[in-house]
Amino acid sequence: MNEKIWQNAAQASVSSGVIPIPITGTLIELLQMLINEKEAEFITIFTKPLNLDEIKAKSNLDDESLNKMLNNLMRNGIITGIASKSTGVIVYRLLAPIPGMFEFTLMRGKTTEREKKLAKLFEKLFKELADIVQSNYEPVINYVKENITPLTRVVPIEQCIEHKADAVMPYEDVKMIVDKFDTIAVSTCYCRHEKELLGKPCSVTKEKENCLTFGQPAEFIIKYNFGKKISKEEAIKILDKAQEDGLVHKAFHVKQDLANDEFAICNCCKCCCEIFQIYYMGGAPTQTYSSSLAKVSSSDCTGCGICEEMCPMEAIKMEDDIVVVNEDKCIGCGVCAHHCPVTAIKMERTGVRTVFVPPPKR
């Protein structure tokens, strides 16, 4: 085994993402399960997204070998090849370990021994990340806060938004997002699937086919069998069920820019979602865009505790039998308001804001 090739491949993958994943033996072992040594050497050319001509200039492979290499890496969820919306030219991107390879290696929902081992390795990698962060807590958290853009935007449950004179904004309604796209794919929730493979099934929902992708990324998902095509009506049914189960809608924007279209929506729970689980492990802050905030009417609250139990950020506490919301931790998902039996919680519109919650410090 050429250790330098695998170190370089791991570094290339980590550098392609935004989360500073540690390059450990665990990450190397993950890569060795997913690709061979020739593929590991090849992916080091991806210092940035590349089109086919740029790849040919950096590679010594002939056209047939290059086509085979690219297709194998795309089928295995190591790179993506997605047409640019503006030019139509296919752009190939090397995926980071998280988010990226984690999702693509588990979103087909397979349950072989290979997938079980991958799940264990990813869990180990998350724990290693948490240990490194905890041992360098202040500098790491400050670096993330100052240098890393939020990966997601929380889309509130629309029925819980208090409508004023103006209409609901497009970013406040998942149905408006769905309506923008002609191509929609659904995949297995990789986070819930990982937990199931580890013998820790989700405690919030039994649904697993509820990760949505849109537009050109959805076409890639469908072509390489990472998911299947569905209609807008089917997508809405999935989102409605997610709301009833108490899941959080998280939207992902192209290039993490809110001015760009969404390309995916995940429906997340506290016990499985990789972003939530890394946060609770102490490995990364919760960092997201939001557009609303939970507000409680103390005169209407009966102190039943349902909202406290369901809040994925543990931002709600009972004080003297009345709900109190920690606004610094509230991500504005609307789960508490949607499930309050006496409608004592409303979601107040705030405009887009950034929520940054440092992870628990051990």
Q: Tell me the mean pLDDT in the region 233-244.
A: 95
3-state secondary structure at position 116: helix
Model pLDDT for residues 117-171, shown as the tens digit of each residue: 999 999 999 999 999 999 999 999 999 999 999 999 999 986 555 554 455 455 5
pLDDT mean across residues, the chain? 93
Residue 84: pLDDT band (50, 70, 90) is confident
Q: Tell me the mean pLDDT in the region 302-314.
A: 95
pLDDT score for 173: 83
Q: Which tops the pLDDT comparison, 322 or 30? A: 30
Residues 115 and 251 in one domain: no
Angle at 78 between CA 17 and CA 275, to 5 degrees: 45
pLDDT score for 157: 85
Residues 213 and 90 in one domain: no
Which tokens is 106 given?
A: 């588990």
Which tokens is 329 given?
A: 């931790």
pLDDT score for 86: 81
Q: Tell me the mean pLDDT in the region 239-251.
A: 95
Residues 339 and 206 in one domain: yes
pLDDT score for 52: 96
Residues 197 and 319 in one domain: yes
Query: In 3D, which of 38, 12, 7 has the Cα closest to residue 24?
Result: 7
* Burial class of residue 25 (count of CB atoms within 10 Å of its CB; 0-12, 13-18, 19+): exposed
Query: In 3D, which of 173, 360, 191 has the Cα closest to residue 284?
Result: 360
Q: Please provide the distance, in angstroms rounded to a whole number, between the alpha carbons at the two ends of the chain.
A: 38
Q: Does the structure show a pLDDT above 90 at 101?
A: yes
Contact 359, 129 (CB under 8 A): no
pLDDT score for 234: 97
Residues 23 and 38 in one domain: yes
Task: Please tell me the distance from the alpha carbon of residue 150 to that of residue 287, in angstroms, as a whole number.
Answer: 5
Residues 114 and 263 in one domain: no
**Residue whose tokens read 């050319």:** 45
Q: Is residue 230 part of a domain?
A: yes
Least confident interval from 64-68, 294-298, 320-324:
320-324
For 284: left if phi > 0, alpha if psi spans -120 to 50, otherwise beta; the answer is beta
Residues 6+ apart with CB under 8 A from 23: 7, 10, 11, 14
Question: What is the number of alpha carbons within 13 Å of residue 214 lying toward its C-beta?
Answer: 22
Residue 322: pLDDT band (50, 70, 90) is confident
Residue at which a domain ends, from 106, 138, 170: 138
Handedness of CA 166, 167, 170, 173 (dihedral sign): positive
Q: Which residues pair with 26 in a beta bridge?
A: none
Residue at which a domain ends, from 89, 115, 138: 138
| CATH number (domain holding residue 54) | 1.10.10.10
Q: Which tops the pLDDT comparison, 349 or 231? A: 231
Q: Is residue 133 part of a domain?
A: yes
Q: Tell me the mean pLDDT in the region 325-343.
A: 95
What is Dmax (Cα atoms) for the chain? 73
Handedness of CA 99, 359, 156, 256 (dihedral sign): negative
Q: Tell me the mean pLDDT in the region 65-87.
A: 95
How many structural domains is the chain composed of? 2
Residues 87 and 230 in one domain: no
Query: In 3D, which of 206, 8, 227 has the Cα closest to residue 104?
Result: 227
Q: Tell me the mean pLDDT in the region 56-68.
A: 95
Residues 306 and 165 in one domain: yes
Residue at which a domain ends, from 94, 115, 138: 138
Residues 131 and 210 in one domain: no
Least confident interval from 137-141, 157-161, 230-234, 250-254:
157-161
Which tokens is 49 given?
A: 């997204």
Q: Does the structure show a pLDDT above 90 at 229?
A: yes
Model pLDDT for residues 165-209, shown as the tens digit of each residue: 455 455 578 888 999 999 999 999 999 999 999 999 999 999 999
Q: Is residue 362 part of a domain?
A: no
Which tokens is 334 given?
A: 């609307």
Residues 131 and 39 in one domain: yes
Residues 38 and 150 in one domain: no
Residues 6+ apart with CB under 8 A from 277: 126, 191, 271
Write out the residue range of the structural domain in which residue 8 sits: 3-138
Prediction pTM value: 0.92
Q: Does the structure show a pLDDT above 50 at 240?
A: yes
pLDDT score for 165: 41
Residue 354: pLDDT band (50, 70, 90) is very high
Residues 143 and 276 in one domain: yes
Interstrand relation of 248-253 and 262-268 (parallel, antiparallel or unpaired): antiparallel
Query: In 3D, which of 167, 191, 178 has the Cα closest to residue 240?
Result: 178
Model pLDDT for residues 10-29, shown as the tens digit of each residue: 999 999 998 888 899 999 99
Q: Does the structure show a pLDDT above 90 at 81?
A: yes
Q: Is residue 152 part of a domain?
A: yes
